[in-house]
């Protein structure tokens, strides 16, 4: 029996509430509420402002660099960087690009993307070295992407201040492997729903 409503309303900021559709993979029965920030400039701007306030009040020290993974949280990360006066941030790419110089690869995954290879330029790793770093994602769910981020941090001598996301999902994370998780709200994760039409 499916007790999950077809949409879930969630507040992102005090003046921004959105309705997220329930998506179900017909092959596996796995269901989740779809939160997609790509192309939504207003969502990114408002949530970045709110997250920046929480980072400033909750950390006690200012981040010096932001890291995200391709692709849904790129615009959010850019807005966060602007809020802190940064003109640069680091993006982990999901494929090797011809313009990359001395790229480093490693494997990671997430609930939506599965296991895959990530690439980052050595110059970006050098940029992170010695800095206070915040890792940014749209949603922290199973922790797959968070573990990928930790692999990057392990490649450089930097200090990880926090994981920063708009929403936690399934588990209401306040920390991940001892690192604070700063978020704006929480989403339930329906998981496997069998015998129900999508």
Distance of alpha carbon 187 from the chain centroid = 14
- At 163, give phi and psi (nearest 5°): -95, 135
Answer whether residue 190 shows pLDDT above 50: yes
114-132 residue pLDDT tens = 667 889 999 999 999 999 9
Domains and CATH numbers, the chain: 39-186 (3.40.50.2020)
Residues 119, 32: Cα–Cα separation, whole Å: 28
Cβ atoms of 21 and 33 closer than 8 Å: yes
**If you compute the radius of gyration of the chain from its CA atoms, what whole number of angstroms results?**
17
Q: Quick one: pLDDT band at residue 136, thresholds 50, 70, 90? A: very high
Tokens of 134: 């915040």
Which pLDDT score, from 0 to 100, does residue 1 have? 42
60 Rama sector, left if φ>0, alpha if ψ -120 to 50, beta otherwise: left
């Amino acid at each position: 029996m499916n007790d999950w409503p077809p949409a879930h309303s969630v507040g992102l900021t005090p003046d921004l509430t959105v309705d997220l559709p329930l998506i179900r993979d017909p092959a596996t029965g796995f269901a989740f509420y779809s939160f997609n920030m790509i192309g939504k400039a207003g969502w990114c701007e408002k949530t970045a402002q709110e997250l920046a306030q929480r980072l400033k009040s909750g950390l006690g020290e200012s981040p010096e660099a932001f890291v995200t993974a391709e692709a849904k949280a790129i615009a959010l990360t850019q807005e966060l960087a602007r809020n802190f006066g940064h003109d640069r941030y680091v993006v982990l790419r999901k494929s090797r690009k011809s313009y990359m110089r001395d790229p480093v690869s490693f494997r990671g995954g997430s609930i939506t993307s599965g296991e895959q290879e990530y690439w980052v330029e050595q110059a970006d790793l050098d940029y992170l070295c010695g800095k206070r770093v915040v890792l940014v994602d749209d949603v922290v769910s199973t922790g797959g992407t968070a573990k990928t981020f930790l692999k990057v941090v392990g490649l450089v001598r930097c200090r990880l201040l926090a994981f920063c996301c708009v929403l936690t999902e399934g588990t209401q994370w306040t920390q991940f492997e001892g690192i604070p998780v700063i978020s704006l709200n929480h989403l339930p994760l329906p998981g496997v729903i069998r015998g129900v039409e999508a």
